[in-house]
Amino acid sequence: MHDKKDLDPNVAPPSAKDLRMQVLQREMEEMEKERKLKALDEKKHADFAGDFLEKHVSEEEIAVVRRLVANAVKDGKFEAMVYSFPSDLCTDSGRAINSGDKDWPQTLQGKAKEFFERYQTFGKPQGYKMKAMIINFPGGVPGDVGFFLNWAPDDA
């Protein structure tokens, strides 16, 4: 706020046009900030997608899964989300997962397909169960897929 000594009653206030220009300038700055954030998000997504589709599951990623399971066990849980990825990296953008289609694994590609194959080879024979779910719906459309490992006893 201005001190009373800064106000000169003989000076005209800013014009309405000047005030509109200030508001417009602020809106333009906000739009530019949002544009930059969106561009950064798009780059992150593109980098993730490139890594996801072109590289193999690393030993570090496998270690993360094991830590997540161990932490869930310490917390007394029988399930843990062990991996997530954007649903648009499925061949059908996550529709089969979202609708509970039994053939959802056929829509996987890249690291998700490799994680599922590792589950089939190592997890399932050890008694683990796996499910995939859409875990968020930004703008009302499927967002990310989560892979959940479960080691609860079978219902009697």
Looking at every residue in the chain, the average pLDDT score rounds to 91
The model's confidence at residue 107, banded by pLDDT at 50, 70 and 90, is: very high
pLDDT of residue 44: 85
pLDDT of residue 2: 55
pLDDT of residue 154: 84
Q: Is residue 7 part of a domain?
A: no
**Per-residue pLDDT reduced to its tens digit, 62-102:** 999 999 999 999 999 999 999 999 999 999 999 999 999 99
- Residues 77, 133 share a domain: yes
What is the extent of the structural domain holding 33?
14-54
Per cent of the chain over pLDDT 90 is 74
Q: Is residue 2 part of a domain?
A: no
Total count of domains within the chain = 2
- pTM attached to this predicted model: 0.72
Q: Is residue 63 part of a domain?
A: yes
- Residues 28, 90 share a domain: no
Q: Quote the DSSP letter at residue 13.
A: P
- Residues 132, 82 share a domain: yes
Judged against a pLDDT cut of 70, whether residue 31 lies above it is answered with yes
pLDDT of residue 1: 52
Measured distance CA(61)–CA(52) in Å, rounded: 12
- Residues 136, 83 share a domain: yes
Q: Compute the CA torsion angle 16, 18, 22, 28 (nearest 10 deg).
A: 100
**Beta bridge mates, 130:** 149
- Residues 61, 44 share a domain: no
- Residues 124, 92 share a domain: yes
- Residues 73, 48 share a domain: no
- Residues 66, 46 share a domain: no
- Average pLDDT, integer, range 11-39: 92
Cα–Cα nearest to 146, from 74, 68, 41, 70: 68
pLDDT of residue 5: 64
